[in-house]
Amino acid sequence: MASQRNLLAGLIFVFAFFTANSCFSADLKIGIMNVQKIIIECDAGKAAKGRFDTKMKQLQSSFKGEEEALKALQAEIKKKSSAWSEEKKAEKVREFQKNGRELQAKTEDARFEMKKLQDKELEPILKALEEVVNKFGKDNGYTAIMDGKNGVVYFDPSVDVSDIIVKKLNAALAKK
């Protein structure tokens, strides 16, 4: 008796699913975009990447001298430690550790600064992208537009709207 009810309920569910599915499938229009590709290929994204890379090179060059001095001190300790007194050895090791901690702190500060710069550069692009995608989706009758890199396992390349979105994003950002 219970199994018959479960079977009947299951059949009703399957029938309802296929009926609803056939009703909605005609109106379903899904687009896939690659947000990362759009950001990299749009004009504002290219400009932001250029500024980001320039800042990164500046920071790396500012640390180069300190890194080389630290390596030289390490080599000196390794080479001369047998000739030094215990006090001199301990002093040089402390100096090496202190300089290493300072360099590590500066590196962490630089990493934080780069993250802030990245967020600052991406914020207006992402905001404009959201507006462009919403307008594009509404104007072209899409049911949904999804990011192909976040959760979509397969999609037909014909539904990828990334290139169209890049052009529309460039136009929208050029107006601002």
pLDDT digits (tens, 9 = 90+) for 110-162: 999 999 999 999 999 999 998 999 899 889 988 888 888 876 656 677 888 99
- Nearest Cα to 32, choosing from 138, 163, 135, 171? 163
- Nearest Cα to 32, choosing from 150, 162, 135? 162
Residue 130 and residue 109: Cα distance in Å, rounded?
A: 31
> Which ranges of the chain does DSSP label H, i.e. alpha helix?
2-25, 35-41, 43-80, 86-139, 162-175
Q: pLDDT grade, residue 8 (50/70/90)?
A: very low
- 115 phi and psi, to 5 degrees? -65, -45
Q: pLDDT grade, residue 56 (50/70/90)?
A: very high
Q: Is there a contact between 38 and 160 (Cβ–Cβ < 8 Å)? A: no
Res 4 pLDDT > 70: no
Share of the chain above pLDDT 70, in %: 82
Mean pLDDT (the chain) is 83
